[in-house]
Structure 1
Amino acid sequence: MPILIYIEYHFNIVPKQPATDILIAELGDAGFESFVENESGLLAYIQKIDWKEDILDDLLITQNTDFKIFWSSKEIEQQNWNAEWEKNFHPIKVDDRCVVRAPFHDAEDVEYDIIIEPKMSFGTGHHETTYMMLQHILDTNFEGKSVLDMGCGTGVLAILAKMKGAGATDAIDIDEWCFLNSKENIERNNCGSIQVYQGDSGLLKGKKYDIIIANINRNILLEDIPVYANCLNSGGLLFLSGFYLQDLDAISSKCEAYNLKFEKKLEKNNWISVKYVN
C-alpha cells in the first residue's frame, strides 16, 4: 500500500478567535482534510496530490486586517500525521462528570463517557462554546424531553442529551461533513435513535421540541430565533452559543421579542452560552 504524503500547514493566529473557526471553514472548502488547534493557532493537513502552490491565495480570512495570520508548511508522511493528531487531541473533562475523548484514548471513570472522531467537523469540547453547552446539558433534566441539536457539528451535544435520557432527538447541520460525522459518532456512542438531517432551519416546519440547542454563530442565530421560538413547546428551553459577550444584548433582545425569557448565562474567554425559557 503506497504511503500517503501530506502537506502540513502551521498557522500562527492573533487573536485566535473567531479567526481560527473562519480559517478552518475556508481551508475545508479548499480541500484540507483535518485540523488540530494548538496554543499558537492551527495545524492543517491536505494530501499532496490535492495541494497546489496557490491554494491559500483565495482565503478571505488572511485578507482581514482584524487578524494577523502567519504560516509555514512542510511535507509529512501519513504515519507522522496520525501521530501528531493523536498527540495534540487531548480528552476534555467537563465538571468532573463528562469526558469527551477520541477512540484512541483510554476510558475514564465518569458519569458520561463520549467518544468523538471529529474529522472535519466542529464540536469536541475544546472550543469554549461547545464546553459551555455541555455544562448546560449536564445541569438540565433531559429525561423524556424532545430535543433539537441545531448546527450539530460532531453530534456531541445531541449524544450527551440522549445519554441523559432525552426522548425523540433530532440533529441538523447544513454541512455534509458534519452530517456524516454526526451519524458516525452517534453510532459509535450507541445513540442510534438520534435522527440526523442535512439542512438548515427550513427543515423545522411543523416540528415541536421541549429543548432546542443551537451552537452556531451570531448572524444565523438572529435569523433563526423566530423559528426556534415557534418550535418550542410551552415551558421549553432554548440554549444558544457561538457568539461573544458583546453580542448578548442583540441576542436577548431578539429572544424577548418572541417571548423567550433570559434565565442563565455562562462565560468563557469572552465567549458566552445562554439559557432562555419559553
Structure 2
Amino acid sequence: MDYLEFKIKCLEEFREILIAELAEIGFDSFQETEEGIDAYILQGNFDREKFTEIISGYQEAAEIYLTEEVMPKVNWNEEWEKNYDPIEVGDLVYVRASFHQPQPGFSYEIVINPKMSFGTGHHATTYQMLRHQGELDHAGKRVLDIGSGTGILAIMAHLLGAREVEAFDIDDWCVDNGNENFDLNGLSTRMGFGTIREVNPQGPFEIILANINKNVLLDEIQIYVGLLSPKGFLLLSGFYTEDIEDLIIAATPHGLVLQQKSSKDNWAALILQKD
C-alpha cells in the first residue's frame, strides 16, 4: 500500500496543532520544514472528508497552502545514507544503519535499514518505548509488537532475552522492511500482515508493545488486555502528553494500572500492568 504525502505550508505557530489534528485522523509521520510540515498517511487510512474539514478550519488563520502526492514504493536507503544519524538511548542501545560503524559502550546494538522514517528511533515515541523496554525484564517472556513498522521494538525484545517475539503491521512495505531488519539482527521470526483482528495473535503474552496512535489504541485496548497475562505489562506510545488522561481512563476499567509515564517533545509513553 502506498503512502500519501502532503506538503503543507502554514504559519509557524500552527504547526503543532495541525500535527495533532492530523494524527487524530490517522496520519502517522510528520516532518517539520522551513515552510510548514510534511505529513504522511497510508492511502487505505485516508479519510478525504475529515482531512478537508481540518484544513478548511485552519485555512485562513494559518495561511495554508498544500500539495498532495502519492509516494511510490522505492528504496529510500540511498537518501537515508545521506541524512540518517545513529541513535543513542542512554547506554542501553545504539541504533545504527548498516553503513555506520559499531560503537562500544552500549549494552545492545540494533541495525536498522529503514525504507522510510517510521520506527528508526529518531521519533520521540520509538525512543521512549526502547527506553521503557530496557526497564522491564524480558528474559523468557512472550512479547507481542503491534504495528511493528521497521521491527525495532521486536528486535529490542529479542536482544533483551524474550523467549518468543511476534510482530505484525498493516503495511506490506513495513512487513518487507521489518523482515529484512529481523534478518540483520538475528531474529528467525517473520512479521505478520494485517490488523490485530486479522492477524488474531494467540495469548497470553507477558509484554505487549503498541506504538501506534491514540484512536487505534483506544479502539483496540480491550483486545490487548485479553491477550495479556496476569501481571503482564502493556507499553503504549504514539500519542501526545495531553492524551495521557484519555488513555488511562480507557485502560483502568480493564484492570490496567499505570506504573510509569514519560514524555519527550510532547509525545507520551505509558507502562501499564494488568492486575
Structure-2-length-normalised TM-score: 0.76
Distance 1:22 1:89 in 2: 27
Does the Cα contact within 8 Å between 1:241 and 1:272 map onto a contact in 2? yes
Return the alpha-carbon distance in structure 2 between the equivalents of residues 36 and 82 of structure 1: 18
Q: Structure 1 residue 65: deviation in Å?
A: 4.5
Residue equivalent to 1:164: 160
**Per-residue deviation at 1:97?**
2.0
Looking at structure 1, the residues matched to 231 and 90 of structure 2 have their Cα atoms a distance apart, in angstroms, of: 26
Counterpart of 2:151 in structure 1 is 155
- Aligned-partner residue type, residue 63 of structure 1: I
Classify the secondary structure of the residue corresponding to 2:186: coil
Q: Which of 221, 226, 236 is the matching residue for 2:222? A: 226
Gaps of 5+ in 2: 1-5, 40-47, 68-75
Cα distance change of structure 1 residues 206 and 157 upon mapping to structure 2, 3 Å threshold: closer
Cα gap change, 1:87/1:65 in structure 2, threshold over 3 Å: closer, same or farther? farther
8 Å contact from structure 1 (residues 121, 153) kept in 2: no
Could you tell me which of 136, 143, 167 is aligned with 1:140?
A: 136
Conservation of the 8 A alpha-carbon contact between 2:211 and 2:238: yes
**What residue is the counterpart of 1:106 in the other structure?**
101
Q: Where does residue 63 of structure 1 map in the other structure? A: 55
Match of 1:176 in 2: 172
Distance in 2, Cα, partners of 1:155 & 1:64:
36
The change in CA–CA distance for 1:272 and 1:43 in structure 2 (over 3 A counts) is closer
After TM superposition, the structure 1 = structure 2 runs for residues 1-278 of structure 1, keeping only pairs within 5 Å, are 15=15, 17-18=19-20, 37=31, 40=34, 60=51, 63=55, 65-66=57-58, 84-109=79-104, 110-120=106-116, 122-192=118-188, 194-202=189-197, 203-204=199-200, 206-278=202-274
Count of aligned pairs between the two proteins = 244
- Letter of the structure 2 residue corresponding to residue 108 of structure 1: Q
- Mapped partners of 1:90, 1:20: distance in 2: 27
2:271 alignment partner, SS class: strand
Q: Compute the displacement of 1:140 (Å).
A: 1.2
Asked if the contact 1:264/1:274 (under 8 Å) is kept, the reply is: yes
What is the distance in 2 between the residues matched to 1:165 and 1:97? 14
Aligned in 2, Cα 1:42/1:163: closer, same or farther, shift over 3 Å?
farther
Mapped contact 2:93–2:107 kept (Cα < 8 A): yes
**Counterparts in 2 of 1:66 and 1:249: CA distance versus 1, 3 Å:** farther
Deviates more, 1:14-23 or 1:106-115: 14-23
Segment drifting more, 212-221 vs 108-117: 108-117
Distance 2:30 2:152 in 1: 18
Aligned residues with identical type, % of pairs: 37
